[in-house]
Amino acid sequence: MASYARRRAAIATLVSTTVVASSPSLVRAEAPVVRLESGAIAGSVTGKVAAFKGIPYAAPPVGALRWRSPQPVKPWTGPRAATAYGNDCMQFLDPGEAAPPGMPPAEDCLFVNVWRPAQAPPQAKLPVVVWLHGGGFVNGGTSTPIYDGSAIAAQGVVVVSPNYRLGRFGFFAHPALTAAKDGAIANYGLMDQQAALQWVQRNIAAFGGDPTQVTLMGESAGGISVMHWLTSPPAPPLFQRAIVLSGGGRDYLVNVKPLSGDGKNPSAEQSGVQFAASVGIQGTGADALKALRALPATTVAGDLNMTSLLKQPPTYTGGPILDGQMVTATPGAILQQGAGAAVPILIGTTTQDLPAILPNLKDPFSYFGPDAAKAQQLYGASGASNPLQLLFAIGADIGMHEPARFVANQMTRRGQSAWLYRFGYVAQSLRPQVSGAPHASELPFLFGTVAARYGQAVTPSDREASRTFQGYMVNFIKTGNPNGAGLPTWVQHDPMRPDLMLLTPTEGAMMQPDPWRDRLDLAEKVVNGRQPIAAKPATLAGTSWQLVQFQGGDGTTFMPQDKTKYTIAFNPDNSVNVRFDCNRGRGTWQSTGPNQLQFGPLALTRAACLSGSLHDRLAKDWGYVRSYVLKNDRLALALLADGGFYEFEPLPTVPQ
C-alpha cells in the first residue's frame, strides 16, 4: 500500500504544478518428484500442500536471446531441486513498495511456480489457476510473499504463477530489431505469458491438474494482460475462465504506442532509438542491435518503476505495443466487435482503486462536457470534495470502475456469464486512517496471506473477509460460478440491473445496487462518443500478392522455392482467389475493424504437390489468420496469438 501512496503523492505533485534456480543436487529423498517434458523436478511439502518453485518454462532470455520470443528449455538430467523461487524479472525496484519481490531481479527470470494438494495423484484432473502478477509492466514478480499459492491449493486447486519480462526487456522496439527479422518482436512480456500458458497445457497433468479447466487470473498489469488474452484468444484455447482484478477493460491503461511512426505521433521504435542514443548507441543496423544486446541488464532496466512511469519517459514505450500482430486494437474495441474468447468472467475493482486515467488536472469536471454540472453534483454527494479526492475518484471511475462494468455488460450480451464485484474491505489495523480499499489491497485476502501482509495485527474480521473473498474466487476457479456453501448469494451480472457484489468493511459481502451507478453512467456516455485506439486503417480490396516468407512465433522461417506459385487476391466483393503451389482455390474474406482479417472456408483443388511444398502449411493456417499489417508495400497476415505471420509482396495484376 505504501507504493500506492507514493503514486498518489506523485499525482498530487502533478496537480500542484498543473536468485538463480536451484541446481539438480541436494534433493531430499522424501521430496515429491514430478516428471516434466524437460526433466524431473523435486519439490517440497508443507502441511497439505506440495510446492514446486523456480521451474524454467523457457530458455534464459539473455545474450543473443534478449528481445527474442521465448525459446525452448534445455532439458536436464536427474531430479532438479524446485524448492526455491527463481529470480524475478529485471527491474528497478520501487523503494516504497509494500510487497516487493522476494528474490533479486535478473534477466534470467523465466520461471514458473506450482502449488498443488500434496496427495493429489497425477490423474486427479484438478482445476488450475494461472496467476499473472501486477506492477505496471515494470515491477513485480512471483516471489512476493502475499502471492503464495498454498491456501488456494489446499482447497483442491493447482496454482501456477509465471514470471514474465518487464520494462524494456518485455516491451521494446527498435528499427534494428525490425530489420533483423529474428521472429516476432516488441511484446516479449506477452509472448512470455503465452509460453507459460502453453507450458501449462503440456505439463500441468503431471501435477494432477486438468489442462481443460484453466482459469487465467491477474491483477493490475496482470489483469490488463488477462483482458488482452480474453480479446486476443490463442488457438488452440489456453484457458476456459477469466478473473480480472483492477485490470481496466476498455484499454491497456498504459501508454500504448504503435510499432512504427507516421512522422507525427511517437512510436515504439522512436522510443527505442531514443533509449539507444541515451546510452551512446547510434544507427539502425546489425551493429546497433549487437551493441544493444551487449548492454548490462541494469543499464537496460534504468530507473523504470511504478513511480517513474508517471513521468512517461520518452525512452520507454510504456507497455504493450500496437504491433498489428499480437496487439491489434484495444480490448474494448475488440469486445464491441463481438470478438474474443467465449468464457465466463469474474471482474471487479477496489473502492479506492488506482486513477490510471486522469481527467484535466485543473478542471476534472470538464471531462464530462455538457454533463459537468451533473458530475459535480454526483461527486460532491459521494464525499469526494477536495481537489485530490475528486481527481482520484474521477480517474478511478473512468479507468477502472466503468471499464469493469463495460466488460461485464459486453460478455453478458454475448451470452457469457459475468460476475461483477467491488472490494471495499479495509484491514482493521488500518482504520480509520484508511477509509477505502486501495489498489491491490485485496490480494492478501485473495491468497489467504493476510498474516504475511499485516503480521500480528491480523484480526478475526480480517480472516473472515479473506475466507469470503477467497471462497468466491475458488468456487469460480472450480466451476465458473462464485457461489457456494456458506457464502452470501452472488447474482450473475445483468446489464439491465445496477447490482454488484460489494465486499464491505463492516457488513461482509452484500449484493446491492451500485451506489456509483450514475457516476459510471456519465463516464460511459463520454467514452462511447470517442474512437478507441486501433491500428491505422488500410484497405485490402482490389490488391493481389505473392508469398515472400513465413516467420513462426518460435523464430523458424520458411521461404517458397517459387513465390509466384503462392498468391492471394482480395476482390472488392469480399471473395478471395488463392494459389497454394499446385492447387488453386476460392473463398471469402472480411475485415470487421482496423487491421482485423478473417477468412471463410476455402475451396481448393486437391492435387498432390511435390515434396517441400508449403501447400499443407498454408491450408492448415488459413483459418487462424486474424489480423493484417500493410507496411512498406508489404502485407503481413498474422496468425492467432503470435503463431507467426506470412509476408507477401505485391503482384502487378490479379491472378486468374
Q: Which domains are delineated in the chain?
A: 20-218+230-322 (3.40.50.1820), 352-527 (3.40.50.1820), 544-650 (2.40.128.270)
Bridge partners (DSSP) listed for residue 575? 588
Bridge partners (DSSP) listed for residue 182? none
CA 550/CA 95 separation, integer angstroms = 45
* CA-derived radius of gyration, the chain: 25
Amino acid residing at 223: G
- Give residue 451's pLDDT: 96
pLDDT band with cut points at 50, 70 and 90 for residue 483? very high
- Give residue 26's pLDDT: 44
- Give residue 164's pLDDT: 98
pLDDT band with cut points at 50, 70 and 90 for residue 554? low
Backbone angles phi, psi at 617, to 5 degrees: -65, -45
Please answer whether residues 523 and 355 qualify as being in contact, where contact means their C-beta atoms are separated by less than 8 angstroms.
no
Average pLDDT on 463-475 reads 98
- Give residue 325's pLDDT: 87
Amino acid residing at 118: A
Please answer whether residues 346 and 419 qualify as being in contact, where contact means their C-beta atoms are separated by less than 8 angstroms.
yes
* Sequence-ordered list of residues with C-beta below 8 angstroms from that of 442, at least 6 positions apart, any chain: 219, 245, 350, 423, 425, 469, 503
- Give residue 632's pLDDT: 64
Q: Encode pLDDT of 1-29 as tens digits.
A: 444 555 555 544 444 333 233 334 444 44
Cα distances from 125 to residues 116, 120, 310, 499, 546, in angstroms, run 11, 9, 44, 35, 47
Overall residue count recorded for the chain in this entry: 656
Q: Which residue has the higher pLDDT, 579 or 529?
A: 579
- Matching residue, cell 536427474: 78
3-state class (DSSP) for residue 78: coil
pLDDT band with cut points at 50, 70 and 90 for residue 308? confident
Please answer whether residues 646 and 636 qualify as being in contact, where contact means their C-beta atoms are separated by less than 8 angstroms.
yes
Written as nine digits, the cell of 448 is 489467504
Q: Where are the beta strands (DSSP E) in 280-412?
A: 321-322, 345-350
pLDDT band with cut points at 50, 70 and 90 for residue 385? low
- Max intra-chain CA distance, the chain: 78
Backbone angles phi, psi at 283, to 5 degrees: 90, 170
Of the candidates 645, 647, 655, 652, the one whose C-alpha atom is nearest the C-alpha of residue 571 is 655
* Sequence-ordered list of residues with C-beta below 8 angstroms from that of 555, at least 6 positions apart, any chain: 68, 69, 71, 182, 183
Pairing label, strands 575-580, 566-570: antiparallel
Q: Encode pLDDT of 345-362 as tens digits.
A: 999 999 999 998 888 888
- Give residue 19's pLDDT: 28
Stretch among 14-23, 296-305, 464-473, 487-496 having the lowest mean pLDDT = 14-23
pTM confidence score? 0.80
How many whole angstroms from its chain centre is CA 253?
11
Please answer whether residues 45 and 117 qualify as being in contact, where contact means their C-beta atoms are separated by less than 8 angstroms.
no
Written as nine digits, the cell of 584 is 488453386
Average pLDDT on 257-265 reads 80
Stretch among 96-100, 213-217, 554-558, 631-635 having the lowest mean pLDDT = 96-100
CA 120/CA 616 separation, integer angstroms = 42
Written as nine digits, the cell of 242 is 477469466
| Measured torsion, CA atoms of residues 201, 205, 211, 212, in degrees rounded to the nearest 10 | 150
Please check the confidence at residue 575 and state whether its pLDDT lies above 50: yes
CA 319/CA 582 separation, integer angstroms = 44
Please check the confidence at residue 64 and state whether its pLDDT lies above 70: yes
3-state class (DSSP) for residue 587: strand
Please check the confidence at residue 330 and state whether its pLDDT lies above 80: yes
Average pLDDT on 184-208 reads 97
Amino acid residing at 608: A
Reported as half-sphere exposure (CB side, CA atoms, 13 A), residue 614 has a value of: 22
- Give residue 319's pLDDT: 95
CA 656/CA 654 separation, integer angstroms = 6
Written as nine digits, the cell of 505 is 468493511
Q: Which residue has the higher pLDDT, 590 or 42?
A: 42
Q: Encode pLDDT of 225-234 as tens digits.
A: 999 999 998 8
Secondary structure percentages of the chain, helix, strand, coil, to 5: 30, 25, 45
Q: Encode pLDDT of 361-378 as tens digits.
A: 888 999 999 999 999 999
| Mean pLDDT value across the chain | 89
Rounded percentage of the chain residues whose pLDDT exceeds 70: 89
Give the DSSP letter of residue 438: B
CA 75/CA 77 separation, integer angstroms = 7
Of the candidates 237, 268, 312, the one whose C-alpha atom is nearest the C-alpha of residue 171 is 268
- Give residue 29's pLDDT: 43
Angle between helices 517-527 and 402-413 (to 10 degrees): 80
* Sequence-ordered list of residues with C-beta below 8 angstroms from that of 21, at least 6 positions apart, any chain: 54, 55, 56, 80, 82, 84, 86, 87, 111
Give the DSSP letter of residue 608: -
Q: Which residue has the higher pLDDT, 471 or 626?
A: 471
Please answer whether residues 117 and 153 qualify as being in contact, where contact means their C-beta atoms are separated by less than 8 angstroms.
yes
- Matching residue, cell 503462392: 566
Bridge partners (DSSP) listed for residue 160? 114, 130
Of the candidates 245, 180, 49, the one whose C-alpha atom is nearest the C-alpha of residue 555 is 180
- Give residue 2's pLDDT: 44
Of the candidates 504, 347, 441, the one whose C-alpha atom is nearest the C-alpha of residue 134 is 441
Q: How far apart are the first and last CA of the chain?
A: 65
Pairing label, strands 80-81, 39-42: parallel
CA 129/CA 215 separation, integer angstroms = 5
Residue 553's Cβ-count burial label (10 Å; 0-12, 13-18, 19+) is buried
CA 612/CA 609 separation, integer angstroms = 8
pLDDT band with cut points at 50, 70 and 90 for residue 89? very high
Please check the confidence at residue 626 and state whether its pLDDT lies above 90: no
CA 371/CA 361 separation, integer angstroms = 17
Residue 507's Cβ-count burial label (10 Å; 0-12, 13-18, 19+) is exposed
Of the candidates 591, 590, 569, 596, the one whose C-alpha atom is nearest the C-alpha of residue 580 is 569
Q: Which residue has the higher pLDDT, 40 or 325?
A: 40
* Sequence-ordered list of residues with C-beta below 8 angstroms from that of 544, at least 6 positions apart, any chain: 567, 568, 569, 570, 650, 651, 653, 654, 655
Positive/negative CA dihedral, 313, 316, 319, 321 = positive
Give the DSSP letter of residue 42: E
Give the DSSP letter of residue 22: P
Backbone angles phi, psi at 635, to 5 degrees: -115, 125
Pairing label, strands 598-599, 583-590: antiparallel
Reported as half-sphere exposure (CB side, CA atoms, 13 A), residue 89 has a value of: 35
3-state class (DSSP) for residue 50: strand
Q: Encode pLDDT of 493-551 as tens digits.
A: 999 888 999 999 999 999 999 999 999 999 999 988 765 444 444 578 889 999 998 87
Q: Which residue has the higher pLDDT, 58 or 649?
A: 58
